[in-house]
Amino acid sequence: MTTWIDIALDRYEAPLLRFATRLTGCPQRAADLVQDAFCALCRQPRAQVANHLAEWLYTTVRNRAIDHHRKDHRMTLVAPDTQAETAAANVDPAAPVEAAETNAALHQALAGLSDRQQDIVRLKFQDGLRYREIAQALGISEGTVARTMHEAMARLRAGRRLEEAV
Amino acid sequence: MSDTTLQTPLTVDDPRLTAFALGELDGARAAQIAAAVQNDPSLAAEVAAIQATAGDLTAALASTGQPRLGSDARAAIAAAAAPKRRLRLVPALSAGVLAAAGVAVAVLVQAPAMTDRKPARTTMIKPQAASHQDSNDQRVLGESGEVVVTYNIDIAGRMIDTGGMPASGPVVEYESEDRLQAAGQTEIGGASAFGAIGSGGRGDGRMRREYRSAAPAELRLAARDLNHEGYTALGGNAFRATAVDGGDASTFSIDVDTASYTNMRRMLLREQRMPPKEAVRIEEMLNYFRYAYAPPATASNNPFAVAAETTACPWNADHRLVRVGIQGAEIDRTERPASNLVFLIDTSGSMQSADKLQLLVQGFHHLVAGLDSRDRVAIVTYAGSAGLVLPSTSGDQHATINGALSRLRAGGSTNGGAGLSLAYATARQHFIDGGTNRVILATDGDFNVGTTSAGSLVDTVKAQAQGGIQMTVLGFGTGNLQDGRMEQLSNDGDGVYHYIDSERESQRVFGEGLTGTLVTIARDVKIQVFFNPAQVAGWRLVGYQNRRLAREDFNNDQKGAGEIGAGHQVTALYEIVPAGRAVPGHIATDPNPFVAGGAVETSAMTDPNGPMLRLRLRHKLPGADRSTLQEFDLADSGRDWLAASADTRWAAAVAGAGMRIRGEDAVAAWSWEAIRATAVDAVGSDPRGDRREFIQMIDTAMRLQPDAEPIGRHPLPGTEGADNELRPVTR
């Protein structure tokens, strides 16, 4: 039997894993966070979350990531996380073969964006979120999303023009 | 706003243009932009270009390899989505496995009613940022605008009758927490679940804690910030003046953990970095090493012998140093009582790396090698769901046990609570009266608090320890170690906490030290020292910060304390300020005018020619409810540092290095060179090379954090004998 949870899982599993990995820098941690979020979703009355499922899921993942991070910050941060490098490949979002040759310039331009710009671009074009959902997911205002997206698009296009001119 | 003309002219710099191009604007606003674009070819070109880029981006980012959750995680979600909320079968424990093992146990676990749970209550949220701006205090304010959140957590009334079965359900959740998150608020409830376990708020069931937390909006998690190791800050280690009320006595619980030392060793030797000061627990450094302590006389009933020595203090010529050493009785391997062990193994995805699961399995192989037909072993794993990998099996079935260990694979998320319940239930089923009943938790420390309340975890562990099942905690790996939480769990579980950084260490804990690891010879061992104010102006206990007890706890047999295993040694150091000298940091108090002698002035009643201190120890024999008291007097021999025994010199060097790494002012005058020279001089025979290895750690530390300027060299001492200066108190 396919439940609404299954549908939500199919739709948001990969985007949330990517999102959580970007937040935490650690695919394993990300998988734990996403599992937690879906387990928490199961306890929500469907009517309460159905209209803003994406916002709810992204917010939950983000809050839990912050929670983990905050907990860690009460203690001492010492060195770069080595886990990120050694993590299993099956949940590593860096691994997908998205650097097709025709897109190389675009990826290069993307890498030149700020973290927040990249987040917004990915949430929009990779995960298909609306501005309103992105704003919720990142805990920022919709206006900020609009402004940041606009700047990001301008920079991406400028970067491509530069590439093409060379 | 039905007007389709814009109040200001639209330019290519307007974010609304991008929003329009991406279809993000609703009817009326979209119509406004559409009208403007229609009238301006440059805007129209811009929109077309944005849409082209958007199409390219969508194509470029459409990745072929979508990340997926592991099957364990999906199973856990499916279980959570199952319609029956309250009553749940532990998923991985299938009826088939149980039947095959011939074990008839209904593992039907009921989650406690949600009404038992009071949500974390916010009593005060102080925006500290404003009030601390002037002080420029980075620790309080933080780079990202931290605020201090204070709240109460009600942990009362949640422990459920444990009558032989798991007490807390595998899925115990704060509903309130999720509501908070859904509402987009900061999760005070979530933070409380973490905080409760690391803090020592026991006793009255209420905890009041302060946490620093970063404001979420300010928070950007950069990958480089993500070391998830968690350490609980230890309190300071200030001097206490004997003239101050209550300052004449020191009470603490013994501790035989060694995790802090091996964790530091990993950081200093393997990773070549300075350990964070919170990771340094000096008592665990001291107790890692073996000393030449005399065992208890075979004729005596004492499970341990105690000795002490006084010398000059090497880091402060005005002070004295007292070393107290305890030696637990050795028990022959063949006379060891039977052991009922349940390995509770974290097989979550984070355990994948070579320094975790692989090392863990090797360690358990060492342990299994020492077991025989008297013993029983079961293996429970937790990773998303909890599973009984190996039902309780006779300890001589090495191949079966090792086979089950070797088949362990990491993957999935963590649900420590479910695993814990299953492990305790299994241990309870096979309880050996008069034997060792123990759950051995092996993890990188990430108990998933998302589905388990930390408070009930602690309650479970405590209740099970009272019911005769101890918990030993083995920490593994790097980057994720929740050190403070692991230590707390082992303390609550009457067990020991080891950090396994290498196969050599697992050999040490499970091979040579197996009987010590398995056999408890004395429980609830407490030390109380009464100082003679006529000789002692002030004192401080080096280390043991989170082992301090209240003065009255000493005589309270209900109050638990540390255990001593067979052959274990415990070392403690006191730095003594002799009478007539100023106690550093001490602020004079006024006498109470209503009490004869002012209640704080005690020297009139004491003997200037008497002993320096009285050392008192309480312990319970395993299975006993009442404690036994031993008392000894110690007179200051006046022994010079040059005449100190090798053991005292070694302990002082270890403590000195620990205090230097912790940045304690008291040892600022003791240079790394002098500490190293002291250590080198006191190495002794060092059969296993442990002491020489520590000197390498000093080398790394002094390179990473050199002395600011040369500090005067300290004279080197030179005797080997370790006299016992204690005099038993007879009445």
SS3 B343: strand
Distance, CA of B614 to CA of B633 (rounded, Å): 4
Q: Does A50 touch chain B (CB under 8 A)?
A: no
Is B105 part of the contact surface with chain A (CB cutoff 8 Å)? no
B interface test, pick of A48, A49, A67 with most B CB neighbours within 10 Å:
A67
- Asked which of A24-33, B372-381, B605-614, B684-693 is least confident by mean pLDDT, the reply is B605-614
The yes-or-no verdict on residue A93 having pLDDT over 60 is no
Residue A31 to residue B70, Cβ atoms within 8 A:
yes
Model confidence at B131: pLDDT above 70: no
Q: Do B474 and B442 meet the contact criterion of CB atoms below 8 Å apart?
A: yes
- Identify which has the larger pLDDT, B184 or A22: A22
More confident residue, B89 or B571: B571
Report the Cα–Cα distance between both ends of chain B, in Å, rounded: 96
Single-letter amino acid, residue B525? V
B293 vs B332: CA distance, rounded Å: 18
CB proximity list for B155: less than 8 A, separation 6 or greater: B196, B205, B206, B207, B455, B459
Phi first, then psi: give them for residue B446, nearest 5 degrees: -100, 75
Phi first, then psi, for residue B250 (nearest 5°) are -125, 130
- Strand (E) or helix (H) holding B174: none
pLDDT band for A86, please (50, 70, 90 cuts).
very low
How far, in Å, are A6, A46, B68, B269, B704 from residue A18 at the CA level? 19, 25, 10, 35, 37
pLDDT tens-place string over residues B524-551: 999 999 999 989 999 999 999 888 999 9
Average pLDDT, chain A: 74
Determine the average pLDDT of the residues in B366-386.
83
Q: Which residues pair with B629 in a beta bridge?
A: B618
Q: Tell me whether A161 touches chain B (CB under 8 Å).
A: no
Which chain A residues are closer than 8 Å to B70 by Cβ?
Answer: 31, 90-91
Contact B67 A93 (CB under 8 A): yes
A66/B414 touch (CB, cutoff 8 Å), yes or no: no
CA B695 – CA B654 distance, rounded (Å): 9
Say which residues have a Cβ less than 8 Å from residue B298's Cβ, sequence separation at least 6. none
Q: What is the pLDDT of residue A40?
A: 86
A33, A35, A37, A41 alpha-carbon torsion, rounded to 10°:
180
Interface of A with B in 117-146 (CB under 8 A): 121-122, 124-126, 130-131, 136, 139-140, 143, 146
Q: Any idea which of B191-200, B329-338, B371-380, B568-577 has the lowest mean pLDDT?
A: B191-200
**pLDDT at residue B577, rounded to an integer:** 95
**pLDDT for the residue B411:** 67
Confidence of residue B211 (pLDDT cuts 50, 70, 90): very low
pLDDT of residue A12: 84
SS3 readout for chain A: CCCHHHHHHHHHHHHHHHHHHHHHCCHHHHHHHHHHHHHHHHCCCHHHHHHHHHHHHHHHHHHHHHHHHHHHHHCCCCCCCCHHHHCCHHHCCCCCCCCCHHHHHHHHHHHCCCHHHHHHHHHHHHCCCCHHHHHHHHCCCHHHHHHHHHHHHHHHHHHHHHHHHC
Residue B145 to residue A73: CA distance in whole angstroms: 13
Share of residues in chain B with pLDDT > 70 (%): 70
How far, in Å, CA of B179 to CA of B614, rounded? Answer: 56
For residues B529 and B250, the answer to whether their CB atoms sit within 8 Å is yes
Question: Worst-scoring range by mean pLDDT, B67-76, B174-183, B369-378, B627-636?
Answer: B174-183
Hey, is the C-beta of A46 within 8 angstroms of any chain B C-beta?
no
Which among A153, A60, A59, A49 is positioned nearest to B57, based on CA atoms? A153
pLDDT at A90: 35
Cβ neighbours for B123, distance < 8 A, ≥ 6 positions apart: B150, B151, B152
CB-based contact, B143 to chain A, within 8 Å: no
- Please report residues of B whose CB lies closer than 8 A to that of A130: 24
Restricting to A residues 1-40, those with a Cβ less than 8 Å away from any Cβ of B are 3, 5-6, 9, 13-14, 17-18, 21, 23-29, 31-32, 34-36, 38-40
CA distance B585 to chain A (A): 27
Question: B511 CB near a chain A CB, below 8 Å?
Answer: no
Handedness of CA B582, B583, B585, B588 (dihedral sign): negative
Whether the predicted pLDDT of A81 surpasses 50: no
Quote the Cα angle for B428-B434-B436, to 5°: 60
- Residue from B11, B83, B15, B14 nearest B43 by CA: B11
Helix/strand/coil percentages in chain B, nearest 5: 35, 20, 45
The DSSP code for B63 is: -
Q: Band of the pLDDT at B650, cuts 50, 70, 90?
A: very high
Which residues does chain B have within 8 Å of residue A150's beta carbon, measured at their own beta carbons?
13-15, 17-19
Q: Which residues of B touch A98 (CB under 8 A)?
A: 60-64
C-alpha neighbours within 13 Å on the C-beta side of residue B438:
22
pLDDT score of B413: 54
Does the predicted interface ipTM exceed a cut of 0.85?
no
The pLDDT of residue B454: 59
- Whole-number pLDDT of residue B214: 30
pLDDT confidence of residue B324: 95
**Which of B420, B503, B416 has the alpha carbon at shortest distance from B451?**
B416
**pLDDT at site B723:** 65
Q: pTM to 2 decimals?
A: 0.55
Task: Answer with the residue of higher pLDDT: A97 or B387.
Answer: B387
The whole-angstrom separation of Cα B312 and Cα B717 is 11
From A103, which residue of chain B is nearest by alpha-carbon distance? B60
- Percent pLDDT > 90 in chain B is 27
Instruction: Give tens-digit pLDDT for B260-304.
Output: 999 999 899 988 899 998 889 999 999 999 999 998 987 777 899
- The pLDDT of residue B203: 33
Residues β-bridged to residue B616:
B528, B631
Q: Which two tokens stand for residue A158?
A: 């400028």
pLDDT for B463: 87
Residue B168 is classified by DSSP as S
In the prediction, which pLDDT does B1 show?
A: 44
Give phi and psi for B512, each to the nearest 5: -60, -40
- Token digits of residue B374: 């008297």
d(CA B295, CA B326): 9
Evaluate whether B130 touches B116 at the Cβ level (below 8 Å): no
pLDDT per residue over A23-71, tens digit each?
888 888 888 889 888 888 888 877 777 777 888 888 888 888 877 766 6
B547-564 per-position pLDDT tens digit = 899 999 999 998 888 889
Token pair 């190996």: residue: B390
Instruction: State whether A78 and B229 contact (CB < 8 Å).
Output: yes
Q: What is chain B's mean pLDDT, rounded?
A: 73
Instruction: Give the bridge partners for B241, in sequence order.
Output: B538
Window from A98-107, B463-472, B703-712 with minimum mean pLDDT? A98-107
The predicted structure's pLDDT at residue B60: 77
Q: Is the pLDDT of residue B339 over 70?
A: yes
B163: nearest Cα among B437, B374, B467, B545: B467
What is the pLDDT at residue B695? 94
Distance CA B457, CA A79 (A): 30
In the prediction, which pLDDT does B255 show? 86
Residue A7 pLDDT level (bands cut at 50, 70, 90):
confident
B708 pLDDT more than 80: no
Say yes or no: A86 contacts chain B, CB-CB below 8 A: yes
Tell me the C-alpha distance between B311 and B645, whole Å: 9
Asked if B211 lies within 8 A of A5 by C-beta distance, the reply is no
Strand partners, B305: B327
pLDDT, residue A29, reads: 85
Chain B CB within 8 Å of residue A45 CB: no
| pLDDT reported for residue A157 | 83
The pLDDT value recorded for residue B202 is 33
First to last CA, chain A: 56
| Weakest mean pLDDT among B222-231, B232-241, B656-665, B679-688 | B222-231
Is B15 in contact with A146 (Cβ distance < 8 A)? Answer: yes
Diameter of chain B measured on Cα atoms: 107
Residue written as tokens 């070549």? B272
Q: Dihedral sign, CA of B83, B86, B92, B95?
A: negative
> How many CB pairs (< 8 A) connect A and B?
272
Q: Where in B501-603 does DSSP place strands (E)?
A: 520-531, 536-542, 562-565, 569-578
Cα A128 from chain centre = 11
Verify whether the Cβ–Cβ distance B219 to A66 is below 8 Å: yes
Residue B10's Cβ-side half-sphere holds a number of Cα atoms within 13 Å equal to 27
> Averaged over B665-692, what is the pLDDT?
89
Question: Per mean pLDDT, which range of A126-130, B190-194, B460-464 is the poorest?
Answer: B190-194
